[in-house]
Chains A and B, each alone.
Chain A
């Protein structure tokens, strides 16, 4: 049956078949077969993904999410595509080394060598164009940096960059251009080059050392070895894909701070940029990569026929140096990142974002505005994001990076501990020390019990229904102290008896720490009842919507249960110097009890 079918085909197609004579059938040649097999894996997994993937800034991430997290086999196919590409890069390097060792690049095989080098370059071009297609943070930023480098090339750089990006910016047209290259242009070129490569190998034989071997038929002597090579490669890729999978990062956010890192095979190039900066940058972007490419292209002549022994070692030394240099640079970057806490934080943050984005897409689907909108309007993350953007610019709080603190730390704001710390040492750099308002000094004459009572009273002002009730006796005692001492300056319902020279113009303590108080502080910070005209806090009503204001109030309230800044009461006299990193611009007022008229 099979013979009949073969016969039928032979009669129509002629004798030219795969069954060509070969010399020196060997396992060495199975590497080439494995490469072809992996290219085929890339082709079929790629086409399978094209049935789901949708290139567009609003759909690329979403469709990749759907592929990866919803459709059966999607994660496997995507992971196989990824791991086959990794394996291809490794096998291309291995193939190149085997070829040079076997002197198979020498005349008359220069064209075979060129076709192979071209194919290797195309494999890297596939990696470059494929990486950003998922339009996730990782791929987007790596690719944005790579295309940024193009712009630094002298003379032609900006022009080439615009052609690659499809305009001045990295955006929607960049994605579609990369997609077209990845699925149509590059495959066509690669098929042509690989076909030429294989045809030339057939014509000239594999390597000089096989020339003396007995002639055999490709089928089945070499075919069996090729098939086993292909099987090993495909199974290895399959197992890697099953075991390691491939990640999908959070949707690309052009406005985010993301620690862009290329795939490992490009990290040596990336690290070159670190070593050659400023006017020397061109050495890293053009000179060294150009020299390596030129050297490889000229290798059939540099390591020409007749070179042997020490002379051969000498001309091949650059090849070893290239390999070792690349390995070192890659190691250097990995080592640096492993020891860089800010990089570790950023990647952990990115992982959290990725998990959240996937959870949101799973739960609610992706809105028509796209996945970035979905993530930025995350009902759970929104308040913290608002706080980061509007509050943590000046206020310190755990979990936020405040470059220049200009306002009190809000961890534990509204709690007893925070209130007591404030009364004990208002000008501490963690409290009012970094502001322009330094009217209140440490309340040294307050006994420890009175301090506790005042803390309890202030805390009680903001306690809501359902929260643990404050200590009633302490609150009563605190109210007496507030009335007798605090409210001689502070506004509020507990007015002390009128006294000559008493000016009540300090912030009201009524409802301190409550939602209403926080809201008032945000919409009306310069009101006398808040902190007056010298308060630098901006008014937030114009900056955020009413709903966002409520979110900020709720978020600030949620900080109430955190541990407040731990600080000792300053010693009776003189007050201890504040921590050196933030010296208080003025010394704390020496006489806390004296009425102050400096306000306004």
Chain B
């Protein structure tokens, strides 16, 4: 192999790799970007995070009621006000307002909506069963149903809606 041939080979390889890199870096950067760039509108729902979901009078002692959570839905560029963003099971243990409990209706397994079954709850997708207080009984759910902060103001039941990471044993809020 001649010296000239070697030099040309190096030039061809280096220039070709250089050209590929100049195009590949921005492209890889962009393709990876959505994975680590949250929408700038995320978390700009306004208010203090409390959302009214029901009237206390709508809840009967000992019964569970599923109510939708309305809020601002953010999806990349699009921002939709007053859209259904989640669902909550409300439970009222007694007469007092402090006996109201809220459980996220989102199954901790893979995010299907949990139904009422008998006294407890059941996820229709992979038949995870939960106790009336949300404890996981049988099925693949890695953790109990997720409790949400709840309060009663002027007869109105308010929750702080949080979406938790699915499929893991620990309860981690989704950013």
Binding site for B on A (CB under 8 A): 37, 40-41, 44-45, 47-49, 51-52, 59, 62-63, 65-67, 70-74, 76-77, 80, 219-221, 223-224, 226-228, 230-231, 233-235, 238, 361-362, 364-368
Q: Which of B23, B31, B33 contacts A234 (CB 8 A)?
A: B23
Q: Which of A41, A44, A70, A226 contacts B39 (CB 8 A)?
A: A70
State in angstroms the CA–CA spacing of A77 and B27 once bound together.
6
Query: Which residues of A have CB within 8 Å of B39?
Result: 70, 365
Chain B min CB distance to A505 (Å): 51
Q: Which of A41, A47, A63, A72 contacts B29 (CB 8 A)?
A: A72
Judge whether A77 and B12 touch: CB under 8 Å: no
Chain B min CB distance to A157 (Å): 38
Q: Report if B76 contacts A (CB, 8 A).
A: yes
A367-B23 contact, Cβ under 8 Å, with A77-B30, A227-B16, A231-B18: no
Interface residues of B in 30-79 (CB under 8 A from A): 30-31, 33-34, 37, 39-41, 74, 76-79
Judge whether A52 and B15 touch: CB under 8 Å: no
Q: Which of B5, B19, B22, B81 contacts A227 (CB 8 A)?
A: B19
16 A-B contacts (beta carbon < 8 Å): A37-B19, A70-B39, A70-B77, A73-B26, A73-B33, A220-B11, A223-B16, A224-B8, A227-B13, A228-B11, A228-B15, A233-B19, A235-B19, A361-B77, A362-B40, A366-B79
Judge whether B19 and A234 touch: CB under 8 Å: yes
Q: Report if B172 contacts A (CB, 8 A).
A: no
Judge whether B30 and A52 touch: CB under 8 Å: yes
Query: Which residues of B have CB within 8 Å of A223?
Result: 8, 12, 16
Nearest chain A residue, comparing its CB with the CB of B41 = A365
Query: Which residues of A have CB within 8 Å of B27?
Result: 44-45, 47-48, 73, 77
Residue of B11, B18, B22, B41 with highest tally of chain A CB at under 10 A: B22
- Known: A44-B23, A223-B12, A367-B78; 9 extra A-B contacts, CB below 8 A, are A41-B23, A52-B34, A72-B37, A77-B30, A220-B8, A224-B15, A227-B12, A230-B19, A235-B22
State in angstroms the CA–CA spacing of A231 and B9 once bound together.
15
Query: Which residues of B have CB within 8 Å of A59?
Result: 77-78
Query: Which residues of A have CB within 8 Å of B24?
Result: 44
Q: Nearest 6 A-B pairs (CB), nearest first?
A: A365-B79, A73-B29, A227-B15, A220-B8, A224-B12, A73-B30
State in angstroms the CA–CA spacing of A52 and B34 once bound together.
9
State in angstroms the CA–CA spacing of A326 and B31 once bound together.
39
Chain B interface SS verdict (over half): helix
Q: Which of B16, B26, B80 contacts A368 (CB 8 A)?
A: B80
State in angstroms the CA–CA spacing of A41 and B8 once bound together.
24
Chain B min CB distance to A534 (Å): 47
Query: Which residues of B have CB within 8 Å of A49?
Result: 30
Residue of B16, B18, B27 with highest tally of chain A CB at under 10 A: B27
Interface residues of B in 87-113 (CB under 8 A from A): none
State in angstroms the CA–CA spacing of A66 and B22 once bound together.
23
Judge whether A364 and B15 touch: CB under 8 Å: no
State in angstroms the CA–CA spacing of A74 and B13 once bound together.
28
Query: Which residues of B have CB within 8 Å of A228?
Result: 11, 15
Query: Which residues of B have CB within 8 Å of A65?
Result: 77
Q: Which of A44, A52, A67, A365 contacts B74 (CB 8 A)?
A: A365
Query: Which residues of B have CB within 8 Å of A226?
Result: 12
Query: Which residues of A have CB within 8 Å of B5?
Result: 220
Query: Which residues of B have CB within 8 Å of A51?
Result: 30-31, 34
A367-B77 contact, Cβ under 8 Å, with A45-B26, A77-B26: no
Judge whether B23 and A364 touch: CB under 8 Å: no
Chain B min CB distance to A53 (Å): 11
Query: Which residues of A have CB within 8 Å of B79?
Result: 364-367
State in angstroms the CA–CA spacing of A59 and B80 once bound together.
13
Query: Which residues of A have CB within 8 Å of B37?
Result: 70-72
Q: Which of B13, B23, B78, B81 contacts A366 (CB 8 A)?
A: B78
State in angstroms the CA–CA spacing of A80 and B24 once bound together.
11
Query: Which residues of A have CB within 8 Å of B9?
Result: 219-220, 224
Judge whether A63 and B77 touch: CB under 8 Å: yes
Query: Which residues of B have CB within 8 Å of A365?
Result: 39-41, 74, 77-79
Query: Which residues of A have CB within 8 Å of B77?
Result: 59, 62-63, 65-66, 70, 361, 365-366
Query: Which residues of A have CB within 8 Å of B18?
Result: 231, 235
Nearest chain A residue, comparing its CB with the CB of B74 = A365
Chain B min CB distance to A75 (Å): 9
Nearest chain A residue, comparing its CB with the CB of B78 = A366
State in angstroms the CA–CA spacing of A368 and B77 once bound together.
10
Chain A min CB distance to B49 (Å): 18
Query: Which residues of A have CB within 8 Å of B41?
Result: 364-365
Q: Mark B150-162, 1 if CB is under 8 A from A, else 0.
A: 0000000000000
State in angstroms the CA–CA spacing of A48 and B32 once bound together.
10
State in angstroms the CA–CA spacing of A327 and B172 once bound together.
63
Judge whether A66 and B76 touch: CB under 8 Å: yes
State in angstroms the CA–CA spacing of A462 and B61 once bound together.
61
State in angstroms the CA–CA spacing of A45 and B13 once bound together.
22
State in angstroms the CA–CA spacing of A220 and B31 once bound together.
33
State in angstroms the CA–CA spacing of A40 and B23 once bound together.
9
State in angstroms the CA–CA spacing of A73 and B12 once bound together.
28
Judge whether B26 and A234 touch: CB under 8 Å: no
State in angstroms the CA–CA spacing of A311 and B42 once bound together.
71
Judge whether B12 and A80 touch: CB under 8 Å: no
Query: Which residues of B have CB within 8 Å of A367?
Result: 78-81
State in angstroms the CA–CA spacing of A72 and B16 once bound together.
26
Chain A min CB distance to B84 (Å): 13
State in angstroms the CA–CA spacing of A108 and B137 once bound together.
80
State in angstroms the CA–CA spacing of A59 and B78 once bound together.
9
Chain A min CB distance to B54 (Å): 26
Chain B min CB distance to A133 (Å): 16
Chain B min CB distance to A64 (Å): 9
Q: Which of B8, B15, B33 contacts A231 (CB 8 A)?
A: B15
